[in-house]
Structure 1
Amino acid sequence: MTDSRHIEAAIYERLSKVIDPELGRSVTDLGMIAAIDATPAAARNGNDGTAAGARDAYDVTVHVELTVPGCPLSETITNQINGAVASYPDADLTPHIEVGSMSRDKLDDLVAGLKAERKQNPFNKPGVKTRIFAIASGKGGVGKSSVTANLAATFAALGYDTAAIDADIYGFSLPRLFGVHTQPTNLNGMLMPVTAWGVKLISIGMFAGADRAILWRGPRLQRSLEQFLSDVWWGEPDVLLLDLAPGTGDMAISVAQALPNAELVVVTTPQPSASDVAVRSGLVALQVPMKVRGVVENMSFYEHKGEKLEIFGHGGGERVSEQLTEALGYDVPLMAQLPLEPELRETGEAGRPAVLDADGALRADGVGAEFRALAERLMAA
């Protein structure tokens, strides 16, 4: 025999394993479980008991308080709570989930606690294990954002907790490449990143008015990055990618100041006009505390009927690698030579990184295999 209080305590313990997908904490730690009521089903039905040998039957009502009304992941959370209740082994339980939202005071206390725990930029605290890759290019048009999007999707598909910041304030494109059309949830001044294809994302392009021309100068650009780092709840991702604006302007310097543990990945195309400028984006490491991790040559060739056509010339990635290695005094390898794939553009414009199939799994061949090798090489050091 079981009793109501035993069931309520056991259910609460099971709910401590249910994780809020945005905050990465259990719903019990976050105070989202306001009450649990277990009532014998016989009392409701007016019966004296259950058949001999049958397990006791109970109605279990879980009172859930979401952090914000209309939380976009409320269905996910309630489904997980239903599953946790239904898995109780010692009685037949019929779960009922009553969903409300936290009071303003309770939410204020929760957000204040989370902010105090994080203490601003979470990626600068001692012992942080997040690998940070800043994806840079000397000029636009080399496919830097496409490389960032597909690399982020690859990391996520490989099982890494992955985040990406669209730090190209003037030419943001990650929302389109990931098919994002929603805004981040505002949790009393703390933003929840939008998750798409397994990647946690933030971009100025997710906010109202982002379709207008942005005329920000240095100080405001730096502040935008600081807000993306400190005012967004990232949790503790394994990998953070930043899609930088082309060139060596204010944002690259801001990244180096805010994230001195970031590793620069320089993207170029084969032709000299691109590779010569790409070298300059890597040489920023001579002036700021940032290591250049390696070079990625994009649009290296186009494969047609088994022949590799070098449409944009040859050797750009090697030139950048060699010149940066000599200038910086350490090895800056050419880490990947990615083919020119129309699918990268076509699929990306449709809102799905081309490395993933329609179900979100990493493709085993083609660009999927190329980006998997790049991701594994980046994480090897």
Structure 2
Amino acid sequence: MEGVKHIVAVASGKGGVGKSTVTVNLALALAAEGHRVGVLDADIHGPSQAQMLGIAEGSRPQPAGENSFHPMRAHGIQAMSMAFLVDTRQPMVWRGPMVVGAFQQLLTQTAWEDVDILLIDMPPGTGDIQLTLSQRVPVSGAVIVTTPQDIALLDARKGIEMFRKVSVPVLGVVENMSLYQCEACGHQAPIFGTGGGDKIAAEYDTRVLGRLPLTLSIRELADSGNPSVAAEPEGEVAQVFREIARQVAEQVASSSDDGPSISFSE
């Protein structure tokens, strides 16, 4: 894509595992590591990156020529989302072809400006958006977000298998909500189980990029538009994301500038 060196998909097999929160904090961590970063919110039905980045409701991108838009900017990163183009209070009651068309427009008509790594916040599942992405652009890799529980791992496996089918390397797994620590007494409890990230990483010959705790502040800061990496750059959570960012950047840099050749057959 013009203006973009590398594309990394952030995906999960199911919703509710914190994929969008991981995406925005990973983007901020990559920026803190010195990379020029963009975020494309590919969840057409439920875009959330605008709020997480603190971009005011009703903000609209400026045109860049006849058929393109400049990305919005927040916290030093570039961003594009359906939330910038429609009334987010109204439901997107669209069938598959309309959703795919909207995604293709966001993907191809955003005038990204010298982005080193474009993170694409994928919708849950393995449907039209995922297939369209793999067919339209060279993707350098994918990051899979999951919780340790067995049900989440079932769907995470599907996500990994899908990327394998379209020849997109899986850069690693982020295990979210891996451990809960009581803020009052300090007691730790693995609410969603243990070892899930290690298990799926070993099964698919990839790595666990990092483990994130089940912490109230992560949710509160993302909801407020000032995610953990921006609000608490020296905090424990930010340091976990910085380490994830370094691993992602290292793997992406080791791939060719043009990315892998993408093909799909049914």
TM-score (norm: length of structure 1) = 0.62
Match of 1:203 in 2: 81
Match of 1:162 in 2: 37
Contact 1:177-1:351 within 8 A present in 2 as well: yes
In the aligned structure 2, how far is the partner of 1:218 from the partner of 1:257?
16
Match of 1:297 in 2: 175
In the aligned structure 2, how far is the partner of 1:149 from the partner of 1:310?
24
Q: Deviations over 1:262-291 (max 9, x none)?
A: 311110001101111111111102321311
Match of 2:238 in 1: 368
- CA apart distance, 1:246: 0.4
1:226 aligns with 2:123: no
In the aligned structure 2, how far is the partner of 1:365 from the partner of 1:284?
35
- CA apart distance, 1:163: 0.2
1:344 aligns with 2:218: yes
Contact 2:8-2:139 within 8 A present in 1 as well: no
Gaps of 5+ in 2: 252-266
Amino acid at match of 1:335: L
- CA apart distance, 1:166: 0.2
Q: Provide the identity percentage.
A: 36
In the aligned structure 2, how far is the partner of 1:356 from the partner of 1:167?
22
Contact 1:205-1:211 within 8 A present in 2 as well: no
- CA apart distance, 1:307: 4.4
1:184 aligns with 2:66: no
Among 124, 127, 141, the residue aligned to 2:16: 141
Among 308, 333, 357, the residue aligned to 2:188: 308
Contact 2:6-2:140 within 8 A present in 1 as well: yes
- CA apart distance, 1:227: 1.5
In the aligned structure 2, how far is the partner of 1:156 from the partner of 1:141?
25
Q: Deviations over 1:177-226 (max 9, x none)?
A: 01112111123432111100111000001123332221333333332232
Contact 2:44-2:103 within 8 A present in 1 as well: no
1:262 aligns with 2:140: yes
In the aligned structure 2, how far is the partner of 1:365 from the partner of 1:296?
18
Amino acid at match of 1:175: A
Structure that is richer in strand per residue: 1
Among 210, 216, 241, the residue aligned to 2:94: 216
1:354 aligns with 2:234: no
Q: Check 1:234–1:307 CA distance in 2 against 1; reply closer, same or farther (3 A cut).
A: same
- CA apart distance, 1:311: 1.4
In the aligned structure 2, how far is the partner of 1:307 from the partner of 1:256?
44
Larger gyration radius, structure 1 or structure 2: 1
Q: How many residues align?
A: 246
Contact 1:263-1:293 within 8 A present in 2 as well: yes
1:282 aligns with 2:160: yes
Contact 2:12-2:145 within 8 A present in 1 as well: yes
SS at match of 2:63: strand
Amino acid at match of 2:103: L
In the aligned structure 2, how far is the partner of 1:262 from the partner of 1:165?
15
- CA apart distance, 1:292: 1.2
SS at match of 2:115: coil
Contact 1:138-1:247 within 8 A present in 2 as well: yes
Contact 2:33-2:246 within 8 A present in 1 as well: no
In the aligned structure 1, how far is the partner of 2:102 from the partner of 2:137?
14
Match of 2:261 in 1: none
- CA apart distance, 1:306: 4.9
Contact 1:174-1:203 within 8 A present in 2 as well: yes
Match of 1:114 in 2: none
In the aligned structure 1, how far is the partner of 2:70 from the partner of 2:139?
24
Contact 1:142-1:269 within 8 A present in 2 as well: yes
Gaps of 5+ in 1: 1-120, 326-330
- CA apart distance, 1:236: 1.9
Contact 1:256-1:262 within 8 A present in 2 as well: no
Contact 2:126-2:162 within 8 A present in 1 as well: yes
Q: Check 1:228–1:262 CA distance in 2 against 1; reply closer, same or farther (3 A cut).
A: farther
